[in-house]
Amino acid sequence: KQEVTQIPAALSVPEGENLVLNCSFTDSAIYNLQWFRQDPGKGLTSLLLIQSSQREQTSGRLNASLDKSSGRSTLYIAASQPGDSATYLCAVSPILTGGGNKLTFGTGTQLKVEL
Amino acid sequence: EPEVTQTPSHQVTQMGQEVILRCVPISNHLYFYWYRQILGQKVEFLVSFYNNEISEKSEIFDDQFSVERPDGSNFTLKIRSTKLEDSAMYFCASSEQVNQPQHFGDGTRLSIL
């Protein structure tokens, strides 16, 4: 059974700092990995999706990497801003066996960027 | 930008009652999902739906749960006889293709009394 772990559980940084969020998963037979942010009381906003054949994806100040063989992904946030404060979730999907792509989520990293 | 919309945002129901949670996925998306998040816990997969049928479901998705796409735009989750432990935030998600990102709605907070 796939288990997804995110470290740290919470992180507080001053504005402008570069930071790295970590995600690890126990079963390397994944189809893709997706990073989300979740604001309090809100849904999940998709940030980046990495296919299992890819090593990284970039969007603006965000860069996600994937090392499938070691079961790890990192989300790098450059020049953090207070608006980046949210919970960041990592989710993986298994090799496709049917007409869907169920995601297994980690517990998230709660990020606070302070002025 | 197109988005997934869910109604209601909050539903309070007596234990044993039936509840229907509604979702309007993004219009050109073909894959639909329901997830739930119990307060303080991980987001958990419930069910995936494609080509007008369930493609996969989790152990949580027992006979009390059902999904339906009654028309070309709505996607519903029905819980037949609610239990206290069904209290959670329920999220609907959709994706254009199976290998594309899943986009989530803002969720329905279900409170069972």
Contacts of B11 (CB under 8 A, 6+ apart): B19, B21, B108, B109, B110, B111
H and E: helices and strands count for chain B: 0, 11
Q: Give per-residue pLDDT as tens, B60-70.
A: 999 999 999 98
Q: Is A50 on the interface with B (CB under 8 A)?
A: no
- How far is the alpha carbon of B82 from chain A, nearest alpha carbon, in Å? 22
Asked if B42's CB is within 8 angstroms of A46's CB, the reply is no
H and E: helices and strands count for chain A: 0, 11
Chain B residues lying within 8 Å of A42, measured CB to CB: 106-107
Per-residue confidence (pLDDT) for residue A99, from 0 to 100: 65
Chain B residues lying within 8 Å of A53, measured CB to CB: none
- How far is the alpha carbon of B18 from chain A, nearest alpha carbon, in Å? 24
pLDDT < 70: residue spans in chain B: none
What's the average model confidence in pLDDT over A64-70? 95
Per-residue confidence (pLDDT) for residue B88, from 0 to 100: 97
Question: How far is it, in rounded angstroms, from Cα B83 to Cα A77?
Answer: 41
- Nearest CA to B36 among B45, B23, B25, B49? B45
Question: How far is it, in rounded angstroms, from Cα A46 to Cα A19?
Answer: 19
CB B7 within 8 A of CB B65: no
Q: What are the strands of the beta sheet with B19-24, ordered from one edge? A: B5-7, B19-24, B75-79, B65-68
Chain B residues lying within 8 Å of A90, measured CB to CB: none
- How far is the alpha carbon of A34 from chain B, nearest alpha carbon, in Å? 7
